[in-house]
Homo-oligomer: A and B are copies of this chain.
Amino acid sequence: MSRIITVGAAQLGAIQRSDNRSAVAARMIELMRQAKSSGCDLVAFPELALTTFFPRWFMEDQEEIDTFFEHEMPSNEIAPLFSAAQEMGLAFMLGFAEKVDEGGRTRRFNTQIIVDKSGKQIAKYRKIHLPGHAEHEPWRAFQHLEKRYFEVGNLSWPVVRAGPDLNGALLGQMICNDRRWPESYRVMGLQGVEMVLLGYNTPVHNPPAPMHDRLGDFHNHLVMQAGAYQNATWVVGVAKCGVEEGCEMIGGSAIIAPTGEIVAQAVTREDELVVARCDLDLGRSYKNSTFNFARHREPEQYRMLVERKGAKPPE
Contacts and interface: CB of A to CB of B under 8 A. Distances in A.
Interface of A: 128-131, 152, 156-161, 170, 177, 180-183, 186-187, 189-192, 206, 208-209, 211-212, 215, 218-219, 222-223, 225-226, 229-230, 259-261, 285-315
Contacts of A218: 260-261
Given A182-B226, A190-B310, 17 more contacts: A128-B301, A131-B296, A181-B230, A182-B186, A186-B302, A186-B304, A187-B305, A209-B286, A209-B288, A212-B259, A212-B285, A215-B260, A222-B260, A225-B226, A294-B309, A294-B311, A295-B310
A231 to B, nearest CB: 9
Contacts of A288: 208-209
A289 B215 contact: no
A187 B301 contact: yes
Which of A223, A260, A294, A304 has the most chain B CB atoms closer than 10 A to its own CB?
A: A304
A19 B252 CA distance: 50
A222 B212 contact: no
A68 B315 CA distance: 36
B208 A129 contact: no
| Copies of this protein in the complex | 2
B225 A286 contact: no
Given A222-B226, A285-B211, A309 B299 contact: yes
Contacts of A208: 288-289
A301 B129 CA distance: 10
A67 B299 CA distance: 32
Contact of A311 (B160, B189, B230, B313): B189
Contacts of A187: 301-302, 304-305
16 contacts: A129-B296, A159-B313, A170-B313, A182-B230, A190-B305, A191-B314, A206-B290, A212-B259, A212-B290, A215-B260, A223-B229, A225-B226, A226-B230, A287-B311, A294-B310, A306-B306
A161 to B, nearest CB: 6
A102 to B, nearest CB: 18
